[in-house]
Amino acid sequence: MAKNAVRVGLDLEQSSIAAAQVKSSRTSQMLTAVAVRDIPEGLVFEGEVVDVDGLANELKSFWKQGRFAGHRVRLGVANQKIVVRTLEFPQIDEKELRSAVEFQAQEAIPIPVEEAILDYQVLSTVAGEGGVLRQKILLVAAQKEMIGQFMAVAAKAGLTIEGIDLQAFALARALTRQVSFIDQGAPADRAESTALVNIGTGVTNLVVCVNALPQFTRVINLGCDALVQALVGNRGIKAPEAEVLRTTVGLSGEAPEGLIGDLEPETIGEIHQVLDTTCETFSDEIRRSIDYYHTQEHDGQITKILITGDGSLTRNIDEYLTQALHLPVEIGNPLVTIGENRSGLSPVELEAVAPRLAIALGLALEDEE
Q: Give a yes or no: residue 113 inside a domain.
A: no
CATH code at position 46: 3.30.420.40
- On whether residue 260 sits in a domain, the answer given is no
Q: Compute and round to an integer the Cα radius of gyration of the chain.
A: 21
- The answer to whether position 44 is within a domain reads yes
The segments of the chain whose pLDDT lies below 50 read: 1, 179-189, 368-369
How many CB atoms are located within 10 Å of the residue 55 CB? Answer: 25
Given this model, what pLDDT does residue 25 score? 79
pLDDT for position 199: 97
pLDDT value, residue 49: 97
Is the residue at 88 inside a domain?
no
Asked if 171 contacts 359 with a C-beta cutoff of 8 angstroms, the reply is yes
Domain-embedded: residue 9: yes
Phi, psi of 282 (to 5 degrees): -65, -45
Amino acid 256: pLDDT: 65
What is the per-residue pLDDT for 281? 94
Domain total for the chain? 1
Long-range contacts of 231-240 (CB under 8 A, 24+ apart): 231/271, 231/274, 231/275, 234/270, 234/274, 235/271
Q: Is residue 221 part of a domain?
A: no
What's the one-letter identity of residue 46? E
Residue 92 lies in a domain: no
The model's pTM is 0.90
Could you read off the pLDDT of 259-302 as tens digits, one per residue? 566 788 899 999 999 999 999 999 999 999 999 999 987 667 89
Residue 184: per-residue pLDDT: 38
pLDDT at 93: 87
Q: In 296-341, which residue ranges form alpha helices assigned H by DSSP?
A: 317-325
Examine residue 27 and state whether it is found in any structural domain, yes or no: yes
Q: pLDDT digit string (tens) for 345-363? A: 999 999 999 999 999 999 9
| Residue 33 structural domain | 5-78+146-174+334-364
DSSP 341: E
